[in-house]
Structure 1
Amino acid sequence: MSENRLGFLDDSKVLEQSIMELQAAMESGKTTAKEIVMIYLKRIFLYDQSGPNINSIGELNPNAIFEAESLDKERQKKGPRSLMHGIPVVIKDNIDTAGKMRTSAGTLALKDNYPAEDAFLVKKLKQAGAIILGKANLTEFANFMSSEMPNGYSSLGGQVLNPYGLGTIDVGGSSSGSGAAVAANLACAAIGTETSGSILSPSSQNSLVGIKPTVGMVSRSGIIPISHTQDTAGPMAKSVADAVTILSVIMGTDEMDAATQTIPPGVGVDFLSFFKKDGLKNAKIGVCREFYQHLNEEKLKILETAIKDIQGCKAVIIDNLKMPSPQKPLGYDTLFYEFKHGINAYLSGTKPTQVPVRTLKDVIKFNEENKEIALKYGQNHLEMSENTNGTLNQSKYLIELIRDQHYSQKGGIDAVIEEHKLDALLFPSNYGAQLPAKAGYPSITVPGGYTKDGEPMGVTFTGKAFTEHRLVELAYSFEQATKHRVLPKLV
């Protein structure tokens, strides 16, 4: 089928349209949720599954059109449930969705895993009237399978490409499909997950806004885990406003996730009031140059321009700060212990008739038995995790955990922010993401510009625990002052 034969579906109705703009169009009768879904399906056909073949969507919701029709009727009778009513989003394929879409984490062993229940955040999206358009491809096991695996690859889903440079520009990971789909306007927004950089990296690489919330802001119930101390889900969208709108829907207390019990009273209330164009005025932003040292000259120039733009918004830059650091750099040892413990617990709850593996050891064996298709890049991370004993009372794990928590929180981010009375720290893209990841602290990345080859780069604001409101002010102010995001050339 040629594009001309689909010309009755007007792409302009969704291209770069915000949630508020889509809501206004539906309220005025200029479009419907069903039409919006069909336009996105058309674009998925044209750009994701043929033509450029971005390969960002692993599976589509077969009920999406029917759900959209139902929500259109509900709007006519009762009005919209929320700002998300009728808005199509894609969900990273390590987040449980009940019904007719699998949750695979991109691995062959879970290709027939059809959960009986939605993840907590998916329930909240549906309650708000959002439409789950499909599941997004990802780096296999959220980039915890092999140190050799490229961003965006999985044995089940194949390779996700960056719409800003198909095959030439890194798509970022592990929420690769989530980033590529939204960047190419194949969905209004997406949900990604992060253990260390997996929202910030693909958001930056795809010129998006990504919010990695404080651990506990968003429930992890129903998400295939890596680390119970670092994992979080978060929104990926084309604007700060859209990302925050989604965060306000998916956050909240869940009795099945103890971390959500730590949300302070009032956090998340009236997020939309923090969209202030002068949000950077009089803000104090810290720059730690140690996280800039791996940037090439061109990317460093983009960051220097961003710093000048921030100063132009009347913020104060506190430059050349030194982050307190332990003699031994923070590592990934804790993740190997936590992954085995978490994945064994998740697999034990899957249906034996659908999933042929019950433990991490079974997954490794399954991959070996199917190595021609399952082990293109090996599985050394899985093997290293299996070599731990799977319990969390080991002295090495406990020492590393306590050390990581101290040097990332009180002895790290907190120390620098409090000493210099900062509103936030400024990082390039996902460089330095490990520090707030270890701390469980929030970050927001915003499009910061492009290299000569068209590679996007992000500007990332990081703060102390549950300071999302302030980060939103800063990120929105920077976004409105610079407005860097442009469409990928293929669209």
Structure 2
Amino acid sequence: MNKLIYLFGLLLIISCKESKEIDYSSVVLWEPYNDSSEAAANQEHEKSRMRFKLIQSRVSDKNESFRPLYHEVVKMPESEYEQLKPYILEQDIPTIQGHIKEGRLTYENLVRFFLYRIYHFELDSSTTLHTIIALNVNVVEEARELDNLISEDRHPIFGMPILLKDNIGAAGMNTTAGSIALKDNETEDAFIVEQLKKNKALILGKVNLSEWAYYMCNGCPLGYSAIGGQTLNPYGRGLYETGGSSSGSGTSMAANYAIGAVGTETSGSILSPSSQNSVVGLKPTIGLLSRTGIVPISSTLDTPGPMTRNVVDNAILLSAMTGKDKDDKKSVGTNEDYLNAVLNAGTLKGKRLGVFKDLLETDSIYKNTVNRLGKLGAIIFEFTEPEVSMDGFLTLLNIDMKNDLPEYLNANVQNKKEIPMRTLEEIVKFNLADSLLRIPYGQSIFDGILKDSTSLEELQLIKNRLEENGRLFFDTPMDKHQLDAILSINNYHAGYAAVAKYPALTIPMGYKETGEPISLTFISKQFQEPNLLKLGRAFETATNLRKPPKAYK
């Protein structure tokens, strides 16, 4: 039904496009559909958190997000879209920049190409991933300006359309964290968004996420938010989890909705959706990227990070966001040339890689991958993971969020009359006023935070102990065997990397017999991102395992 409405409107406007009197404000691009059967189909799913209660958002109207740019999308006929496909789809940034330099593309039709895909798939109830929350209404105009800008000294991110997880501040688009409580939250650009704009990246829009970065409810579906609805995995809508909490960042990359996306991670929230959607995700060392202007869980563990379809683009997006931020106490400056690191990646020969014995015994894809790495010249060291305690991990998140969220609300919310809440307790009360609409899966984690009475002194002891234990977990095998990296699966060891504040890079490793993606995750010590990216690029080049989802080619 939705596709028919969309195509009818498209044909109508194309037939009249010479007229200057077209009123786009009344075009119906999306009509809510009955999603009860879609939700019911998942009630027997083997994973309890995949048993959805609803699919669509009950509070957001997609027409409001999609109408403002509709007149730009209809300027691209299907024939032009098909003609541009080979130059854009699944291509890396240097290749696309080359096409633009040679005149095959412009930044304007690059943006319009991605908008075409978003409108085509997201406005059809049979293909929508409920991924896009908001679009930058000025993005096409901004692309035109870049086409006319004469400048030789350009960062590689110049003119590349980027999507942001909707807990990252961006002027002109609300920053909701997926929550009705923040539905109208107006903010300035987060520091990393300022850096992206400084380097002339194009902010295409905002994507869905697990509400409050998946730290609100226990056992609820990954990728659900009241604002965006239920994000779905393009490799199997309703079959496979999207991963969380950067669900929209992962699904949008898999479906080729932009060049890159920015996610955030506290513990696994970049690694998980990157793995589930067969894309490349980097969780950087804490402090490498600023957290200013991002809705927090934990100032101790939070970090943004790049999510892309290949390692080269990941390095470019990372470098475009770096910079010393005076407002983030953990922020560091860096002069690393991440792109040059991956372009000169070399081979895996002689690289010393640690692998988990238990994963070799339980996961055949991991085992086959390790064997393949050995044949490529890597030196493999098997080890049994050290036993370390993670006691206090949830307490760390609880007390950090209780303190960090009010700081964010006070510092970043511009329209304070529309967003009067200043504490987690006030948000909990707001949600309870209409629990069916605002918290259909409950808010048990929020309730637990309010009950947690751990003192700041006790919290500091917990933080110190967890960081020590997290580093012991990795350093024991790393130091013993002088490893370049430890290899994990998906987000299996994300918690240990989080408390150690170590970086982790996940790269497509293949697909299970069911078709569900699975990824290989490289973990190393602090600020070893150049080496991780080199290893990742060497692995990616040697294996070339990523396949785009069939329904979104």
Q: Give your verdict on TM over 0.5.
A: yes
Spell out, residue by residue over 1:206-240, the C-alpha distance to the aligned partner (whole angstroms, 9 max, x if none). Answer: 11010110001000011101111110011000100
1:275 aligns with 2:375: no
Aligned match of 1:195: 266
Aligned match of 2:206: 135
Spell out, residue by residue over 1:406-457, the C-alpha distance to the aligned partner (whole angstroms, 9 max, x if none). Answer: 1012x22223211221111100111111110111110000100001221110
Q: Which has the higher contact order (CA 8 A, sep 6+)?
A: 1
Q: Secondary structure of 1:490's partner?
A: helix
2:328 to 239, 257, 271: 257
The alpha carbon displacement at 1:392 in A equals 5.9
Contact persistence 2:385–2:473 (CA under 8 A): no
Using the TM superposition, name which of 271-280 and 40-49 deviates more: 271-280
Aligned match of 1:284: 352
1:113 aligns with 2:172: no
Contact persistence 2:89–2:256 (CA under 8 A): yes
The alpha carbon displacement at 1:96 in A equals 0.4
Aligned match of 1:384: 448
In 2, Cα distance between equivalents of 1:474 and 1:316: 13
Contact persistence 1:37–1:65 (CA under 8 A): yes
Spell out, residue by residue over 1:117-136, the C-alpha distance to the aligned partner (whole angstroms, 9 max, x if none). Answer: 21110011111111000001
In 1, Cα distance between equivalents of 2:394 and 2:474: 18
1:415 aligns with 2:476: yes
In 1, Cα distance between equivalents of 2:385 and 2:183: 46
In 2, Cα distance between equivalents of 1:129 and 1:46: 27
Spell out, residue by residue over 1:275-304, the C-alpha distance to the aligned partner (whole angstroms, 9 max, x if none). Answer: 3453421111111235678x6xxxx11111
Whichever residue aligns with residue 31 of structure 1, its letter is L
Contact persistence 1:195–1:226 (CA under 8 A): yes
1:83 aligns with 2:147: no
Contact persistence 2:316–2:338 (CA under 8 A): no
Contact persistence 1:49–1:55 (CA under 8 A): no
Gaps of 5+ in 1: none
Spell out, residue by residue over 1:319-373, the C-alpha distance to the aligned partner (whole angstroms, 9 max, x if none). Answer: 13332413x6563221000011111111123231231311111110010002111
Q: Matches of residues 19-168 of structure 1 in structure 2 within 5 Å?
A: 19-50=93-124, 51-74=126-149, 77-79=150-152, 81-98=154-171, 100-115=172-187, 117-168=188-239
Aligned match of 1:304: 367
TM-score of the pair, normalised by structure 2: 0.83
Alpha carbons of 1:477 and 1:114: their partners in 2 closer, same or farther (altered >3 Å)?
same
2:404 to 342, 348, 352: 342
Alpha carbons of 1:317 and 1:183: their partners in 2 closer, same or farther (altered >3 Å)?
same
Instruction: Name which one, 1 or 2, has greater alpha-carbon Rg.
Output: 2
In 2, Cα distance between equivalents of 1:110 and 1:478: 41
In 1, Cα distance between equivalents of 2:152 and 2:142: 16
CA RMSD of aligned residues (A): 1.8
In 1, Cα distance between equivalents of 2:521 and 2:535: 10
Q: Which runs of 4+ in 1 moved over 4 A?
A: 290-293
Alpha carbons of 1:270 and 1:433: their partners in 2 closer, same or farther (altered >3 Å)?
closer
Aligned match of 1:215: 286
Using the TM superposition, name which of 478-487 and 5-14 deviates more: 5-14
Spell out, residue by residue over 1:102-152, the C-alpha distance to the aligned partner (whole angstroms, 9 max, x if none). Answer: 10000000000010x211100111111110000010000000011122110
Alpha carbons of 1:434 and 1:292: their partners in 2 closer, same or farther (altered >3 Å)?
farther
Whichever residue aligns with residue 515 of structure 2, its letter is G
1:321 to 375, 384, 392: 384
1:440 aligns with 2:513: no
Q: How many positions carry a matched residue from both structures?
A: 475
1:232 aligns with 2:303: yes
In 1, Cα distance between equivalents of 2:203 and 2:455: 35
Contact persistence 2:315–2:342 (CA under 8 A): no
Q: Secondary structure of 2:420's partner?
A: coil
The alpha carbon displacement at 1:385 in A equals 1.4
In 2, Cα distance between equivalents of 1:145 and 1:52: 28
Spell out, residue by residue over 1:18-72, the C-alpha distance to the aligned partner (whole angstroms, 9 max, x if none). Answer: 1111111111111111101111111111112324011111111111111111111
Using the TM superposition, name which of 239-248 and 346-355 deviates more: 346-355
Aligned match of 1:174: 245
In 2, Cα distance between equivalents of 1:178 and 1:68: 22
Alpha carbons of 1:229 and 1:154: their partners in 2 closer, same or farther (altered >3 Å)?
same
Gaps of 5+ in 2: 1-5, 12-76
Contact persistence 1:114–1:354 (CA under 8 A): no
Contact persistence 2:360–2:367 (CA under 8 A): no
In 2, Cα distance between equivalents of 1:379 and 1:36: 41
The alpha carbon displacement at 1:154 in A equals 0.6
In 2, Cα distance between equivalents of 1:280 and 1:203: 23
In 2, Cα distance between equivalents of 1:270 and 1:331: 32
Aligned match of 1:241: 312
Q: Secondary structure of 1:78's partner?
A: coil
Aligned match of 2:57: none
Aligned match of 1:363: 427
Contact persistence 1:241–1:272 (CA under 8 A): no
Whichever residue aligns with residue 381 of structure 2, its letter is I
In 2, Cα distance between equivalents of 1:279 and 1:340: 46
Whichever residue aligns with residue 115 of structure 2, its letter is L
Contact persistence 1:292–1:431 (CA under 8 A): no
Whichever residue aligns with residue 192 of structure 2, its letter is L
The alpha carbon displacement at 1:201 in A equals 0.5
